Structure 1
Amino acid sequence: MTRCYNFCAGPAALPVPVLETARDDMLEWHGKGMSLMEMSHRSAEFIGVAERAEATLRELLGISDDYAVLFLQGGASTQFAAVPLNLLAEGASADYVNTGQWSKKAIAEARRFGRINVVASSEDTRFSTIPPRDTWSTDPNAAYLHYTPNETIGGVEFHWIPETGAPLVADMSSTILSRPLDVSRFGMIYAGAQKNIGPAGLTLVIVRRDLLGHSQPHCPTMLDWKTAAENDSMYNTPPTFAVYLAGLVFDWLKELGGLPAMAEINRRKAAKLYAAIDGSTFYANPVEVPSRSLMNVPFTLADSSLDKPFLEEAEARGLLNLKGHRSVGGMRASIYNAVPEEAVDALIAFMQDFEQRKG
């Protein structure tokens, strides 16, 4: 079997060692006569898996006991509603920063549950920039400030953490675990798993414990973080196999050298790809240089009529899922943790060859 290089924005590539371990465990987990997928989530075996996954994640990110770590379902999009339902009291308002399509979705959903103040937006630049902090019109009495550190569609990223007096809330679906992070600066972090954590179907929530127990009266039980925390993420049956796979990913990161080592690899991958784009008149990246993402690299061809042959030839060479999001077009290479450096090298070699033949 020959594996291709997968540049999908999500569900994204998983580390080969993780897949190999999961393959070997699939039919029978640790001599128990069944797969972990078939075991009760109340069993000692699965509880041990979940506890180890949480402990390793806490070690990787330096998460203190002041925070609850929750393994939930519903994707980051469900947390668009859960955030205001848990943090936005009646009559209060919340601040949001709009830097792309996922920010817009979070804002639209939050407005269903309370007053939302968009403190800054880069929509006038077609989401190719990050609004400077001194231009934000924040409310000193806001219940929280929400932002999206990395926008997968537009390929823009915050390379700094906003200072705010209100609890800081972040949708880190496409950037978490890609580098070290000071969790103590956040009130709440959430992330869909299908980028850097594991398979689709699992959602990670890291929430400061003093923010639990303040949900709106009509908050559904399944969206109440306090309920999830009090039940160790097992108020209902959790996505057991996804938790197991996430734990394997956390182990892989730890064995690699942790997040500092992963950050160095990611910076190197992104620098190579941006250098190839910037050194060409055939390819272009629309994002201002200081706001470029390390995880999602959009680029266009000088002649859009060549988009289709570019994708066809790339796929023939085992370079998959390079088509840009339907809302922006062009190409996009998502180079998450599990995308190896040789995949980026192979993509660059193909791009240069294609340019020589078509440019």
Structure 2
Amino acid sequence: MSEDGTLDTASLARIFLTRVIEPGDEVAGRWLRDHGPEELARRLREGGRRLPGVTDKRWAGLLARAARAEPERDWAAARDAGMRFVCPGTTDWPAQLDDLGDARPVGLWVRGRPSLRMWALKSVALVGARACTEYGAHIAATLAADLAERGWVIVSGGAYGVDGAAHRGALGAGGATVAVLACGVDRPYPRGHTRLIGRIAEQGLVVGELPPGEHPTPSRFIVRNRVIAALTRGTVVVEAAHRSGSLVTARAAGRLGRFVMGVPGPVSSGLSAGVHELLRGEAVLVTDAADVVELVGDMGELAPDRRGPVLPRDLLEPAARRILAALPARGTAPAAEIARGAQTTQDDAVGRLYELRSLGFVERHGDGWKLTRQAVTAGRQDHLPC
């Protein structure tokens, strides 16, 4: 497509090729690189000598598809459905998709007004199990909402489970989200997400490689995942069994040099087993939006330090804490015994004990010293033997 939005011959050839070539076909990608879209389209229309890398049977299948392809009709149907076609090299093309090499999409069909290139510059993929638990749906929605509020675009596959929760989380926060489909973007799938995908098209973007009316297949779901991985700075997996398609997305992200992240779940849950396997290898454990942004964001966007609450004894000097630790949990002890336990002199121990008494940690009983109720409670909170 030319910059003024009109259809040129190269774009028309690419539209033709989306009807003939399956997404992710690296052999056809080499043909496209070697011959260009117009010459490749001409050879497929005219038939003739088979191009290298395919069998006669496969070549015949491609020619049969080419004979039925009607790019002008596809373009008219796309415009009627509010779609546009984005080609490599144009201003709206996300350059990071070029990292896919010969598996790069021929072009992308897009529903929605925002710039795909601009949105992809600050985007995170959030994927996971279709049959997710309430925990998975909650984590996905919360993570997506928090990332969206920080200005990040949430990219997912529009499916049931984690995908849908992620899209809804972003939309609910008034943020940006992109659904990458394994079918024609005028044909929402799954059908149960027709309204959700419609909302995404209104507030965000719906993207796909296949021309109008094309249906999804198992293989198309798998190759679609490479686009999700390449489009974003990193992929977060929330709940995934050992054979989950979301692991395909994560591993594609790793091969492309993107960040791979996983949210842990219960060790007894089969739906988290695939995530835990990732976390043992190439993935980084994340628990919230701050963890994700620390990885995919700009330099200096660090997650806050993780620590428990500050307890009163944390504010004491080390020498005073040693004296406090030397007191028995019950009953009293003389200053000399406390000094031996803290490995200091008796005079130093007495001075520290009077300091601790002024702070409410100890009290004196005759010649002995004992912990106050405050000190005993604080010691339990700090998991010290009190």
* TM-score normalised by L of structure 1: 0.27
Bigger Cα Rg? 2
* TM-score normalised by L of structure 2: 0.25
Structure with greater proportional helix content: 2
